[in-house]
Structure 1
Amino acid sequence: MRINQTILEHLQALEPNATFSGSGSRVHSSSGKSYFCKIGTSLDTEQYAGEARALDLMHQAARGLAPQLYAYGISGGFPYFISQYLDMGSYLSDHAARRLAKRLATELHQFKDPEGRGFGFDVPTHCGATRVERGWFGTWEECFGGMMRQLLDGLARKGSGEVVKVGDQVVQRVIPAILGNLEVEPVLVHGDLWTGNAGVDQHTGEPVIFDPAAFYGHNEFELAIARMFGGFPPTFFSAYKTLYPPAEPKSEFQQRAELYETYHYLNHALIFGGGYAGQAVSRMKRLLRYVDKDEDSSSD
C-alpha cells in the first residue's frame, strides 16, 4: 500500500536514512521503529486537533505514559496525524495497574496549565463521538456544570425528556452543593480513562493510555469511568488514593464519584441510547436525595 506523500515526508524528516513500508495505520521503518499514521476527512479536523494537543501535553506531563505525537497538520483539506506505534495488550496486571496509578497521581495529575488559565482546555475535544466545547473557567463548579449542560442540551435535542428534567435539577442544585466549596486545583486529566483506552506495552510491561479527551479539571474525575466498566483492578484505586488522597470534604468522595460517573452515563446515553439514561437518572435522583437530606439537616 502506498504511503501518503505528506505522511512520508514527515517520516523521512524523522529518519532521513530509513525506508518505510506499511498498510493501514501502521507504518514500519527499516530502523525497526513503527509509526501510527492516520488521515481523516475534513469533518475530522477538529477532533484530530484536540487529540494532537492532548497527546502533546500528556507527553510533557508524563513522558511515555501515552504515545508520543510526532506530527499533526492539514494537507489538501484533510487532517493527518503521526504518533508512536505501540504493541499493546489490553489486560492490566496488578503491577501495571499500580504503575499507572502512580504515574497518574505523581505526574499527569500534577501537571498544570503553564498559562494558569484555570479549568478547561484551549480547544474542543471528543469524549467518544461527543464533541465537548471547552473554554476556560475560574472554578471547577462552572467547568463541570458547563460540561453537564452540553450533554443535557444534546439529549434534549433527541427528545430525552425525563433524563433532561432530572439533569436540570442536578445542574441547578447538586453541582453547587457538592462542588461549590470544593477547593481543588486544575490538573491535566486524560478525560476518558476506561479500560478500552488503557493497555500495557508488550515490550516494556509499562502501562499506556491513549485516545484522550483531555482537559484541566479535578483529578477525581479521572477515576469515574475507570470504575464503571471494570478492567481496572482494586489495586489501581487503592494505590492512587494512597498517593493522591481524596479532596476535602473526604466524606463526600462517594457523592463526587457518583456525580462524575453520571457525566459518563449521560454521554453514553447521548451516543448509544439504551439503558444508560436510566442508570444516569437513578444516580441523579440519589444525589438529589442526598442534597435534600443535607439541606433538611442544616435547617434543623
Structure 2
Amino acid sequence: MKLDPSIVRALPIPPSASITAASHGGSGFTTTAKITASSPTSPNNGSGDTHHFFLKTSTTPEAKIMFRGEHASLNAIHAAVPSLCPPSHAWGQMESGGAFLVTGFLDMGGARSGFGGAKSGKGSGMTLAKKLAKLHSTPVPVPAGGSYERPQFGFEAPTCCGDTVQDNGFMSSWETFFKERRLMMILAKSERTNGKDGALRSMVEKTCKEVVPRLIGDGHLNGGKGVVPVVVHGDLWSGNKGVGRIDGGGEEEVVFDPSSCYAHSEYELGIMRMFGGFGAGFWREYHEEVPKTEPVAEYEDRVKLYECYHHLNHHVSVLLCLVERRRGAGDGGFGRLVVMGWRADSESRRYSGVGIRAVRWPS
C-alpha cells in the first residue's frame, strides 16, 4: 500500500526509516491501515527500532473537520488518562486529495470485550470504570487566546459524532451550550436534511425552554454552584470500547473513535445508557469515584435528557425524520423510529422521562 507523501512527512520517525503500510481494521467513514516504520541498525540502537501507527484516510467533504476533531479528542483523553486511548500524532491534507489521521497503534487482537476484561498482564490494571472516573475528575485547561479566565464548556475544535459536525465554540454556561450547541443544532440539521416538521420543532423548543433550565440550569445543579467542565469521550457506546494494547503495552480496557468536548460529566452517560453494554458493577465502581450530581433525585432525568440528543442525532441520520406521532397505518414496509420527550408535573415542577416511544411511519 503506497502512502501519500503528506502522511510520510507527518510520521514521527527518522528520515532513514523504511516504511510499509497494509490495510487494517475497518471503519464506516474512513479507510484504515497499519503503518510499520523500521529504523536501520546502528551502533546506537543495536538491531534498530520498529514503530507501528494507525492510519485513517477519507475523501469525504467533512474529512478534515472529522480528523482535526478526533486528533484533539484523542490527545485530550490521553493527556488525562494515558492508558485509556492511544495518542494522535498528526492530521492533515493529503496531496492526492482528502485528509488523514495518524495515531498510536491500538492492537485490539480481535477482542472487544465488556467491563472487567483487562486487569492483568503489563497494563495499568485500571478498569474502564476507574479510567473513565479519572477522566471525569481531571480539570480542563483554560482556553488559550481570548480573554477567558476559567475553563469553558466546548472544545478547541469541532468534532463529529457519526456524520454530524458539532460546533464546540466555547461558552461559560453549560445550560446554554447544551441547548444551542447540541439540541438546537441537531434540530437545524434535521430540517436541512429532512425538511421542516412542526411537531419535532415544537418538541425540541419546549425541551430547551422548559426542561433544560429545570434540570441542568446554571443555578440549579450542585446547590447553585453549577458544574465544572471535564473531558468526555462524547460517543462512548459499547462499540467504541474494548480490550487492546496501546503502542505495544500490556492489555488494557480502552476506548477509541472519540468525539470529545468539555462538558458536564453526566453528559457522557447519555449515550452509554442509550445502547447499554455497561453493567451494574461498572456503574457502582464509577460512581464510587464520581458521585451523582446534586440533586441526586433528578439524576435519571438528566441522563435521559442527555440521551435525547443522541436519539435525535442517530435517527436524523438513519431515518427520514423525527416525529412524535404515528403517520399512516399498517405493519408492512414501515420504518422504526425512537423519540424521547418529557412531561411536566405542574404542581411539583419536577420533570420525569416519559421513556422511549417507538412509532412507525410509511416507507
Question: Normalising TM by the smaller chain, what interval?
Answer: 0.7 to 0.9
Q: Does 1:195 align with 2:238?
A: yes
Whole-Å separation in 1 of the counterparts to 2:252 and 2:320: 36
Query: Does 2:101 correspond to 1:81?
Result: yes
State the partner residue of 1:28: 36
Residue 92 of structure 1: aligned partner: 114
Aligned to 2:292: 246
- The offset of 1:19, in angstroms, is 2.1
Q: Which residue does 1:261 correspond to in 2?
A: 307
Aligned alpha-carbon RMSD (Å):
2.5
User: Percent identity over the alignment?
Assistant: 32
Alignment match, 1:231: 277
Distance 1:42 1:117 in 2: 33
Q: Is the 8 A contact 2:154 2:177 kept in 1?
A: yes
- 2:354 corresponds in structure 1 to none
Runs of 4 or more off by more than 6 Å in structure 1? Answer: none
Larger relative strand fraction: 2
TM-score (norm 2): 0.74
1:199-244 per-residue CA deviation (whole Å, 9 max, x = no partner) reads 1115623111111111010001111111121222222111111110
Question: Which has the higher mean CA deviation after the structures are superposed, 231-240 or 186-195?
Answer: 231-240
Contact 1:21 1:29 in 2 (8 A): yes
Partner of 1:122: 156
Tell me: CA distance 1:257–1:57, structure 2 relative to 1, closer, same or farther (3 Å): same
Secondary structure of the residue that 2:269 maps to in structure 1? helix
Contact 2:114 2:277 in 1 (8 A): yes
Letter of the 1:265 counterpart: H
Amino acid at match of 2:274: M
CA contact (8 A) 1:121 1:136 kept: yes
Q: Does 1:66 align with 2:85?
A: yes
Which stretch of structure 1 is more off in the superposition, 53-62 or 242-251?
53-62
Alignment partners' CA distance in 2, 1:47 and 1:10 = 18
Larger Rg: 2
Aligned partner of 2:355 in structure 1 is none
Q: Could you state the TM-score of these two structures normalised by the residue count of structure 1? A: 0.88
The residue aligned with 1:134 is: 168
Q: Contact 2:179–2:208 (CA<8 Å) still a contact in 1?
A: yes
The answer as to whether partners of 2:77 and 2:85 remain within 8 angstroms in 1 is: yes
Larger RCO, structures 1/2 (Cα 8 Å, 6+ apart):
1
Instruction: Output the CA distance in 2 between the equivalents of 1:156 and 1:85.
Output: 39
For the Cα contact (< 8 Å) 1:58–1:65, is it kept in 2? Answer: yes
Give the 3-state SS of the residue equivalent to 1:120 in structure 2. Answer: coil
The amino acid that maps onto 2:18 is T
User: Partner of 1:51: helix, strand, or coil?
Assistant: helix
Gaps of 5+ in 2: 24-32, 39-48, 120-125, 144-149, 325-336, 352-363
3-state SS, counterpart of residue 90 of structure 2: strand
Q: Which moved more, 1:197-206 or 1:168-177?
A: 197-206
Query: Where does residue 156 of structure 1 map in the other structure?
Result: 191
**In 2 relative to 1, CA 293–277 (structure 1 residues): closer, same or farther, beyond 3 Å?**
farther
Gapped regions of structure 1 (runs ≥ 5): none
What is the DSSP-based 3-state SS (H/G/I as helix, E as strand, rest coil) of the residue aligned with 1:63? coil
Give, in angstroms, the shift of residue 53 of structure 1: 1.3
